[in-house]
Each structure stands twice: as C-alpha cells, then as structure tokens.
Copies of this chain bind each other. A is one copy, B any other.
Amino acid sequence: MKNTAAPKTEKITAPKAARARAPAAPKPAASTRETRGAERRETILMAALDEFSARGFESTRLEDVAKRAGIAKGTVYLYFRDKETLFQELVREMLSPVLGGIEATRSADLPVGKLSEILVDLFVREIYETRRKDVIRLMITEGRRFPKLAEFYYREVLSPIFDALRGLLKRASAHGPVPQALIEFPQLIAAPAVIAIIWNGLFESYEPLDVRKMLKAHIDLMLAPRGAL
C-alpha cells in the first residue's frame, strides 16, 4: 500500500490561532439594581448564541461566552448551572415565544393565498431575520446530542406548529381546494424555510439564497390552481 498514508489532504479548518476571540462587550448601559440580573442573563444568552452558532456546542468555550458578554468566566455560573443548562435554556427561551405567535393564528380564517403570504412574511420577519434563525440552526446541528431538547422541540414547537398549520389549511379549504398532501405532510410546507436557514448558513458566501423569493415560489407551486386534483 502506498498512497493510503497519512499526510494527505490539506488541513481544512482554520488554525486554532485564527479563532477570533470574542470581542469584549460594547456598551455597559445604566440599569437599576432591580433589573440588573435579568439584563445580565439576557446578555449572557446572546453571547452564548453567538458562540454556539459560530462553533457549535462542544467547541464553544464558556470563557469566550463570558468575554463576549463582558463578564468574568465565573459569572456565567451565577446564572446558569453549567454549559449544558445554558445551551438548553437558550434554546427553550428563544423558541417559546414562537408558540405565542402560533396561537395568534389559530382563529384566523383566510384563503390559502392570503394565508401563505402571511406565513412567509411571519417566517421571514420573526425567524429568518432574527436570531431565532440561529437557534433553529442550533437545534438542527446539535439536536442529536441533546435528545431531551429534541423531544422538547418536537413536542413544544413543531407539533403545535404543525397542528396549527393543519387547522389553518382545513379552514382555508372552505375558500378553495387545498392539497391533501400538505395536511398529511406539513413538513412539505416548512421544508424550504428550513433549507433556507441551512443553505445560507453554509453556502451564503458562495451563492446566497433569496429566501423570500424562494418561499414565494414554493408557495405558488404548492398552491397553484390545478386542472385536476
């Protein structure tokens, strides 16, 4: 055997040294002693989101999170029991508001056309253009190592969303035909949105994806009036 030898492919990850240190936090901002704790907690969560998003759970050093939050390493432990809890509460708290948003649509009674327009807009404004996009990406990339978190996400986020979607579609079907497949596989509705998050996370610098446009195209395809059903 010759060329099976070791020193082959060129290193791919950036060298350790390149690991850009988290920039020291910018503005201290005045605050009452009362709200200080909650604010600080929020600061840590945001710093953690930055770091987890950039390096993944395992590679993230709590010291970097702290530095980015502008605090000392030990301070993180005043707010979160450990790294895992930090990660977990980050995901839970960033996604919980989503549920509220879902509830709001429960009473809606719209034709699919209008409905889909609203959904796309909702996704883009509330998720894709916010940090929640990063949380969803974290869920996707780290979920397998956090089975309980995956279960939470499935039970508390995805299931309600899919239920709501099914409800909306059923009510929408009063205004016109709605493909059965979408009711059976709500994943088909959400798929391009998820793919957009993944794609732009990995390939944006090579070929950015116009999310809004793609989602619009997708909706049009799914719901286009058909000759025969």
Contact = CB atoms under 8 A, between A and B. Distances in A.
Given A58-B59, A79-B4, A179-B221, A92 B9 contact: yes
A53 B59 CA distance: 17
Contacts of A196: 187
Interface in A177-199: 179, 181-182, 184-185, 187-188, 190-192, 194-196, 198-199
Interface of A: 1, 4-14, 34-38, 40-41, 53-59, 77-81, 84-85, 88-89, 92, 139-155, 158, 179, 181-182, 184-185, 187-188, 190-192, 194-196, 198-199, 201-203, 206-207, 209, 214, 217-218, 220-222, 224-229
25 contacts: A1-B35, A1-B37, A4-B41, A5-B78, A10-B148, A11-B84, A12-B147, A12-B148, A13-B147, A14-B147, A57-B58, A139-B202, A141-B144, A150-B203, A151-B206, A154-B206, A154-B207, A185-B192, A185-B209, A187-B209, A188-B214, A191-B192, A224-B228, A224-B229, A226-B226
